[in-house]
Structure 1
Amino acid sequence: MFTGIIESFGTIQKITQDGSNFHFDLESNLASELKIDQSLAHDGVCLTVVETKPDSYRVTAIDETIQKTNLSGWQVGKKVNLERCMAANGRFDGHIVQGHVDQVGKVSAIKDQDGSWVFDLEYDPAIGNVTVEKGSITINGTSLTCFNSRAGAFSVAIIPYTYEHTNFHQLKVGDQVNLEFDIVGKYIQRITKGYTP
């Protein structure tokens, strides 16, 4: 389990395809602290560490992950938001994040607010995910608060610290992002609507 509070960046050094799987080698200042079989969120996608070196490590994404996230668009040199799983004795600073991306969204607008930024995002509402005004959302692994919440769209405000210390400073209009909707909202949605055929 994660909280959506980004710890560091990883920079993609190498991408290797092996059948339908993709291996990603990343350089990070967290590498020396990682262990094989450890869960690590990459732009909100929970991936397992399969190899470690002093300054880098490797994770593997299966086809299911590639199809349901923005990992298919990752390229060498890209900066990725990283968060290790929450320690049992840690503070819960964000919200409950599983590292299981629900769907990909798209940045539809970026507005400079003279010291902060407002990002407007769109997603396909036909999948059944919803946001709640002032509710939680995870974008590329970052825990944020929604506003202007409506079917298939919402906005988030980004303060300078978050802008600089996550990969929001790299995002452009039209970019795809990983979305994980609030777990409580997902359970309520399932209870009230059940399973659709």
Structure 2
Amino acid sequence: MLPDTPEDAAHWLRAAFAHSDVHYDPPVEEGLSDRPLRPAAVLVPVVLRQEGPSILLTRRTEHLHHHPGQISFPGGRVEPHDPDVCATALRETHEEIGLAAERIEVLGRLPDYRTGTGFCVSPVVGLVHPPFVLTPDSFEVAEVFEVPLAFLLDPAHHQQAQLEVRGGLRSYHTIPYGNYFIWGATAGMLVSLYRFLSR
């Protein structure tokens, strides 16, 4: 059960990451290609709301080349000028939704997640301290919304599905929430967060 107050939730999450490592098996998408994986990073933003912590997510616009219309974390490719994946996640978050790094307290990382589309994604978990104002990039982001962390950490909401890709079956995680269908890498990283916090 999650702590009741934002202060207690923040303390609980800080403690969970204080002595953490990422040396356990993450959920990895099947059906991976043999081509080299491109490094990327996302922010897993835990918003400290009075009614309970939530996870901030985006819905990508339909015209994007990679993952159009899908639910995702803010993030993107690692650029040569980024000093590390944390910097990538913070930079991309600011570029995509206008959330300033000053409002984000980085806690740590989850295991890298390898996708069937050729990316090795580093999930960076951070506490987001309200108040804040978002200015989404309308080219990339169709919508920004939040899902209660308690909902996402309930394994009863974690489902598995399969898709035929190039003659083989590819398994992936799904987490339906209201009118939103969270699946693929985003759902997989949320399951990874659940496994990490449940240890």
Question: Shared fold by TM > 0.5?
Answer: no
More strand by share: 1
TM-score normalised to the size of structure 2? 0.29
